[in-house]
Amino acid sequence: MGNFSAVSLESVCVGILLGQSAALKDRLLDRHLMPLSITAAQFKVLRIISGGDNTAGALCRHLSIHSAAMSRMLDRLERKALIVRSRDNHDQRQVRLSLTEKGQSVSTQLPMLACAAMNEFTAGITQEELAQLERLLEKMLSSWLMRERF
């Protein structure tokens, strides 16, 4: 039996709470990242590239973003001189993304700013509650991913 019914759906708002939480987190990140002139969305892309996933396709999969939206995002990051695109030496069809020197400099500042935003975001809960929340979200996601295998 599922966790929701037509009747209980009226009083349970987990979807709304998750959406509002994600939006608040991004607004806080935006505010903390303002000194670097980057957005929360750009932050995520830079972190993924610096972590080694350096193709637009990998970014789209990580962030569940359509390729056209990702292209616009990469254009903005390129105009800010934070990334460069280059053809893969082994597969000329593939475009690799890398951080510029400026992008690497910005990337080193991201963890400190992200920590400040996340500390502000989670200020109302204890470390134990945060750990429990993470476990529950991981359980929900892994259960779904096991079934869907996308």
Please say if the pLDDT value at position 37 is more than 90.
yes
Q: What is the pLDDT of residue 149?
A: 58
**Strands 83-87 and 95-99, bridge-based pairing:** antiparallel
Mean pLDDT of 18-41: 95
Q: What is the DSSP letter of 83?
A: E
List, in order, residues 6 or more apart from 73 with CB less than 8 Å away: 41, 42, 45, 65
- Inter-CA distances, 30 with 40, 73, 84, 103, 121, Å: 5, 15, 23, 17, 12
Please say if the pLDDT value at position 88 is more than 90.
no
**Domain residue limits, the chain:** 11-148
The kind and range of the H/E element at 95 are strand 95-99
Q: What is the pLDDT of residue 34?
A: 96
More confident residue, 74 or 56: 74
List the beta bridge partners of residue 87: 95
Q: What is the pLDDT of residue 32?
A: 97
Mean pLDDT is lowest, of 45-49, 63-67, 86-90, for: 86-90
The class (CATH top level) of 11-148 is mainly alpha
Mean per-residue pLDDT of the chain: 88
Ranked by mean pLDDT, the top range of 1-5, 34-38, 48-52 is 34-38
The answer to whether 34 and 116 are in contact (CB under 8 A) is: no
The kind and range of the H/E element at 86 are strand 83-87
pTM flag (> 0.85) = no
Please say if the pLDDT value at position 7 is more than 80.
no
